[in-house]
Amino acid sequence: MRGIYFAAVSMTALAAAGPASAATLNLLIWEAYIDETILADFTAETGVEVRQTFYDSGDVRDEILADPNSNVDVVVTNENGAKLYGNRGVIATLNTQNVPSLKDYADDWAKRCGGYGVPYLWGTMGILYRTDRITTPPTSWADMMTPDESLRGHIAMYDDHAEAFVAPLVLLGKSVNANDNETLKAAYELMKAQAPYVLTYDYVVTSVQSADKGPNIHMALGYSGDQYTLNEKVNTPGLWRYVVPKEGTLSWLDCISVSERSKNKDMALKLVDYISNAKNGARNAIKLNMPTASTTALALLPEDMRSNPEIYAAPEILAKSQFQEELTVQSVQARRRILSSLAQFSDAR
């Protein structure tokens, strides 16, 4: 339910701001997902201010993108979203002519954005845990889905129709892109049994900032790189760690795209190119402790970062990882019904 409220607030904020003037661009992005000095430097060089609007789930982002009055100029979306909204004419086609920095990205990476975005950052999904509360690192999705009694009321999951199902589906040995009712029902049974251990279904980066929930979260579903954001939010370096369970996981890619509805498309294209060039791609990766898909930017990263398994997942992990695919409408509806049921269970508690 919070996701719906957040979407409404975000769309209202973007609409209220009105179409960005020649001196402003509206960027729709996750919270704490870009080195803000890059945006400040862009403003210093062009005189164009970049206003950020945050979302905290893919479902929220998609609701905003689907609203023709949201006045988005540039958006960070996942690879599926880039292709989906590109095919619908919501996101503009990008190539090396309108975004020259695309030349620094290998074809295998660029193709995953479907011709509608530049690869932004990539990573995996896994388990985040507080080292002062959980002294033995989790190794399996079972540690989260069938948790120890000490974790009752201390887990943060995620209200998103795609990512929320990664843990139960991988634990069941199924595809994260499962569409059939039998598999989704089996996932629901796992999620329902786990529900008493779940404190919140809000994204952990959001919920950790809550005075009542934050201190009580000991384990969370999240993305690689979230541990650094969490440690920054709680001002305690090293408190949160991240692991990818042995069963495998989702390997995700985010793309940065330009809205076809942008009133400042030329400047929006310049912003995407500026963020994506090798120098700024490396700056962004270093600031966020996340992997870049730019071959040229990768060469600029320090060796200790490139060899850090919490940032660049080991080959054996990636070998067991799955990519997201577009789900059927029926699957999305069933997944959202499941999440609604879990949220109602949580609210009743």
> CATH no. for residue 286?
3.40.190.10
In this prediction, residue 4 carries a pLDDT of 33
Distance (Å, whole) CA 166 – CA 125: 8
Q: Is residue 131 part of a domain?
A: yes
Statement to judge: residues 93 and 25 lie in one domain: yes
Q: Is residue 177 part of a domain?
A: yes
Statement to judge: residues 217 and 241 lie in one domain: yes
pLDDT tens per residue, range 285-297: 999 999 999 999 9
Residue 321: pLDDT band by 50, 70, 90 thresholds? very high
Q: Is residue 65 part of a domain?
A: yes
Distance (Å, whole) CA 140 – CA 132: 19
Residue 8: pLDDT band by 50, 70, 90 thresholds? very low
Q: Is residue 89 part of a domain?
A: yes
Rounded percentage of the chain residues whose pLDDT exceeds 90? 86
In this prediction, residue 349 carries a pLDDT of 65
- Farthest-apart Cα atoms in the chain, separation: 57
Q: Is residue 221 part of a domain?
A: yes
Q: Is residue 161 part of a domain?
A: yes
Statement to judge: residues 332 and 190 lie in one domain: yes
Residue 314: pLDDT band by 50, 70, 90 thresholds? confident
Better-predicted residue by pLDDT, 5 or 179? 179
In this prediction, residue 3 carries a pLDDT of 37
Mean pLDDT of 319-331: 93
Statement to judge: residues 230 and 261 lie in one domain: no
**Total domains, the chain:** 2
Statement to judge: residues 175 and 272 lie in one domain: no
Q: Is residue 317 part of a domain?
A: no
Distance (Å, whole) CA 291 – CA 310: 10
Statement to judge: residues 118 and 261 lie in one domain: yes
Distance (Å, whole) CA 229 – CA 261: 32
Statement to judge: residues 221 and 172 lie in one domain: yes
Statement to judge: residues 229 and 333 lie in one domain: yes
- Phi and psi (nearest 5°) for 127? -110, 125
17-21, 181-185, 269-273, 287-291: range with lowest mean pLDDT: 17-21
28-42, 96-110, 305-319: range with lowest mean pLDDT: 305-319
Residue 310: pLDDT band by 50, 70, 90 thresholds? confident
**pLDDT at residue 85 greater than cutoff 90:** yes
Q: Which segments of 140-261 does DSSP mark as H helices, in order?
A: 142-145, 166-171, 181-194, 204-207, 226-233
Domain around 173: 123-250+322-348
**pLDDT at residue 5 greater than cutoff 70:** no
Instruction: Show the CA angle centred on residue 30, arms to residues 27 and 35, nearest 5°.
Output: 75
Statement to judge: residues 238 and 268 lie in one domain: no
Statement to judge: residues 111 and 244 lie in one domain: no
Pairing of strands 74-78, 24-30: parallel
Distance (Å, whole) CA 151 – CA 199: 10
Statement to judge: residues 197 and 89 lie in one domain: no
How far the first Cα of the chain sits from its last, in Å, is 15
Q: Is the pTM of this model over 0.85?
A: yes
Pairing of strands 219-223, 155-156: parallel
In this prediction, residue 21 carries a pLDDT of 53
In this prediction, residue 22 carries a pLDDT of 64
Instruction: Give, as one character, the DSSP assignment of residue 196.
Output: G
**pLDDT at residue 146 greater than cutoff 50:** yes
Statement to judge: residues 18 and 142 lie in one domain: no
Per DSSP, the three-state class of 79 is helix
Q: Is residue 60 part of a domain?
A: yes
Pairing of strands 240-243, 118-130: antiparallel
Distance (Å, whole) CA 25 – CA 41: 14
Better-predicted residue by pLDDT, 76 or 10? 76
pLDDT tens per residue, range 186-242: 999 999 999 999 999 999 999 999 999 999 999 999 999 999 999 999 999 999 999
In this prediction, residue 13 carries a pLDDT of 47
